[in-house]
Chains A and B, each alone.
Chain A
């Protein structure tokens, strides 16, 4: 740990500093390099679009986790600040283009951020008076309020079709017009990078630390001089600001904002991203945003039942890995520290067998059921899965799928405890 021990002499601190600096900031350099290089590795248009969406969602889900993971506020209406920020950004783009104002596109997300902040102040003043379930219910109510307003106030929200803008009609700097997606990617990447650093820095401030205190034990926080309501309120406003920036980036990326962007569905998605990634760790929501965007983009291409898989993954995470993906990774930290990771690799190989069997069975069951229930009317019972052709209305495929699931579960029951004990042995036991 790099903690300032009061006894450490200045010279000792100096001699460490180069190594310390690399340790402290190395991860950011790597992140910046990855963001710069990614478009060179994945050059297709689809990949670029996906990465843009990831950048936006990383900002959005991190802003959400300022509430849920860091301060213990479960919000069901965070899309309000994302969506309103996005809408104002769209209007700002149109206004700037119409009035030929000398404002370049890269500052537009800031407009979204300010909008998110303003509404964070207004709604936060109401909702952060209370914590826990009451806060959650108020956030849900406010979310529904804005979602229904979005269909009524057609001037601002554009009704069902939404509001469009053209990002290329802005002041051009250094010949960059943000027509091609790659230019937008770098704009989003730059904003994402800055926002991630800013939100990480927030966790290292007195207020950021008090957020954790309020999450852990709000009562005690009041007895060390802090108004928990004020801690929640300020944090809520800041979270709204970053959500608004994410919305502004979305407005630039899609050149379109519609009612879906402020809806409860969007609020639910950001909760899923943060939770699947892991709310207990700063990087969790980043992982979650990446995974969920990948699922949304690629799973929806592969199967019509993708929402079901999405839900199952969420349930599996909540039940079996409440720490999310970040939590799963952190589980391996004690092993890595003791140099024992290689000891459980064979076990992962072994456990892959029941996992693959069970998953194959589950997928076969879902796909066959999906085909039988949704597609037989138009396409007939004939279907293809895993390279096999069969009819969804025959018994054999169903039995096979169930048998696979049973085999996976059975083997998992037999090997699971042995795996678990091998794991804890590698993590805590004797060498």
Chain B
């Protein structure tokens, strides 16, 4: 079954085409990585799917429902949640509060000003469980802006998964991390996306080939291949366009 389907997506900024006809099917429960050289339009594609930018043409379906042109919060409410390449948290609020805010809508509290958050044991327990999962339980009362970079990246993922979205999109989750942090993070991502659909953009080929069930290669606004890691590695076009250099850079 298809979780997320892109049908001939185009996006231009002014007269400059960035995404030039992307069609993509992400199956339910699959871990799907999007790779490609810098400037290929990976982040733009993320912004289009999550509703930050509107598409110029084409159609985006989430669980068979058309979400093209919806606002980010409407898409989020339908079960698609995303993280950001540049850490995007609530810096002055505590770590716990960051996660709890991400839980509230999906627990049905919406814009309530008649519930006391202290008494919402369901939401508090869920936020607590997320903190345990991302390993920030002992930082719960810290202002999020005071966390280390790696901790903020973990919180970023915590906020993203807190609402229980079925489709999780991670934009370069391991960017700027050391090798050991990256290894730890791959485990974390694997753990928290258990039973969900994952779409991620990632530059670290180790992470990509470790995590992904399927890989799509985006080059100059078009997907030139979409296949299993083994087949992608063997694909001549991909090697010429991108992978050759990328794998070389790794070594």
The smallest C-beta distance from A93 to any residue of chain B, in angstroms, reads 30
CA distance A231 to B73 in the complex (A): 12
User: How far is A225 from B102 in the complex, measured between Cα atoms in Å?
Assistant: 8
> Which candidate, B106-114, B213-221, B229-237, is the interface stretch facing chain A?
B106-114
Q: Mask for B71-103, Cβ within 8 A of A = 1, else 0?
A: 111001100011010001111110011001110
Residues of B within 8 A of A219 (CB): 88
Which single residue of chain A is at the shortest CB-CB distance from B124?
A4
Docked pose: A129 CA to B212 CA in angstroms: 41
Q: Is the CB of A207 within 8 A of B162?
A: no
Chain B's nearest CB lies how many Å from the CB of A37? Answer: 30
B105 within 8 A of A: yes
Give Cα A225–Cα B75 distance, bound, in whole angstroms: 8
| A-chain residues with CB within 8 Å of residue B251 when the two chains form the complex | none
- Contact at B76–A230, with CB atoms within 8 Å? no
Q: Which of B84, B110, B118 contacts A4 (CB 8 A)?
A: B118
**Residue contact A225 to B50, C-beta cutoff 8 Å:** no
State whether A213 and B93 are in contact (beta carbons under 8 Å apart), knowing that A206-B104, A208-B113, A225-B73 are contacts in the complex: yes
List the B residue with the shortest CB-CB distance to A234. B111
Q: A223 vs B167: C-alpha distance in the bound complex, in angstroms?
A: 13
Q: Which residues of chain A have C-beta atoms less than 8 A from B16's C-beta?
A: none
Is B81 in contact with A223, judged by CB distance below 8 angstroms?
yes
Residues on A with C-beta less than 8 A from B163 are 224-225
Residues of A159-185 contacting chain B, CB below 8 A: none
A394 within 8 A of B: no
Identify the closest chain A residue to B128 (Cβ): A6
Chain B residues near A230 (CB, 8 Å)?
111
Task: Count chain B CB atoms within 10 A of each CB in A210, A215, A238 and give the residue with the most.
Answer: A210
> How many chain A residues touch B (Cβ–Cβ < 8 Å)?
33
B177 proximal to A (CB < 8 A): no
A interface footprint on B106-135 (CB within 8 Å = 1, 0 otherwise):
100111111111101100110011000000
Let me know if A222 and B110 touch, CB within 8 A.
no
How far is the CB of A327 from the nearest CB of chain B, in Å? Answer: 13
B residues in contact with A216, CB < 8 Å: 90-93
User: Is B90 in contact with A220, judged by CB distance below 8 angstroms?
Assistant: yes
Please tell me which one of the listed residues B89, B106, B115 contacts residue A217 in the complex, with CB atoms under 8 A apart.
B89
Q: Which of B90, B118, B121, B125 has the most CB of A within 10 A?
A: B90
Contact B73 A223 (CB under 8 A): yes
Tell me if B243 is interfacial: C-beta within 8 Å of chain A: no
Partner pick for B162 among A224, A227, A231, CB 8 A cutoff: A224
Instruction: Report which residue of B100, B101, B112 has the largest number of chain A beta carbons within 10 angstroms of its beta carbon.
Output: B101
Interface residues on B, range: 35 or more
In the complex, A234→B71 CA distance in Å?
19
Q: CB within 8 A of B105: which of A205, A224, A234?
A: A224
B117–A224 touching, CB < 8 Å:
no
Contact of A212 among B71, B73, B97, B113 (CB under 8 A): B97
A206 to B93, CA, bound (A): 14
B71, B111, B125 pick with most chain A CB within 10 angstroms: B111
Q: Do the beta carbons of A213 and B90 come within 8 Å of each other?
A: yes
Complex contacts, A209 vs chain B, CB 8 Å: 97, 100-101, 104, 117
Which chain A residue shows the least CB distance to B120? A206
Complex CA distance for A210 and B102, rounded to whole angstroms:
9
Q: Is A395 an interface residue (CB 8 A)?
A: no
Q: How far is it, in angstroms, between the C-alpha of A227 and the C-alpha of B110 when the chains are bound?
A: 10
Task: Known A220-B159, A224-B105, A225-B106; judge A204-B117 contact (CB<8 A).
Answer: yes
Q: Which residues of A contact B181 (CB under 8 A)?
A: none
Residues of A with C-beta under 8 A to B110: 206
Query: Is B141 on the interface with A (CB-CB < 8 A)?
Result: yes
Question: Which chain B residues border A201 with CB–CB below 8 Å?
Answer: 116
In the assembled complex, which residues on chain B have CB atoms less than 8 Å from the CB atom of A234? 111, 113
Given the interface contacts A6-B128, A205-B117, A208-B113, does A217 sit within 8 Å of B91 by beta carbon? yes
Most interface-central of A1, A227, A234 (chain B CB within 10 A): A227
CB–CB B113/A238 < 8 A: yes
Is the CB of A419 closer than 8 A to any CB of chain B?
Answer: no
A331 to B71, CA, bound (A): 41
Residue contact B124 to A210, C-beta cutoff 8 Å: no
B88 contacts A217, CB within 8 Å?
A: yes
B1 to chain A, nearest CB (A): 24
Give a binary string over A114-125; 1 marks a CB under 8 Å from any B CB, 0 the rest. Answer: 000000000000
Contact residues of A with B, CB < 8 Å? 1-6, 201-202, 204-210, 212-213, 215-217, 219-227, 230-231, 234, 238
Closest 5 CB pairs of A and B: A225-B105, A216-B90, A222-B72, A206-B109, A224-B102
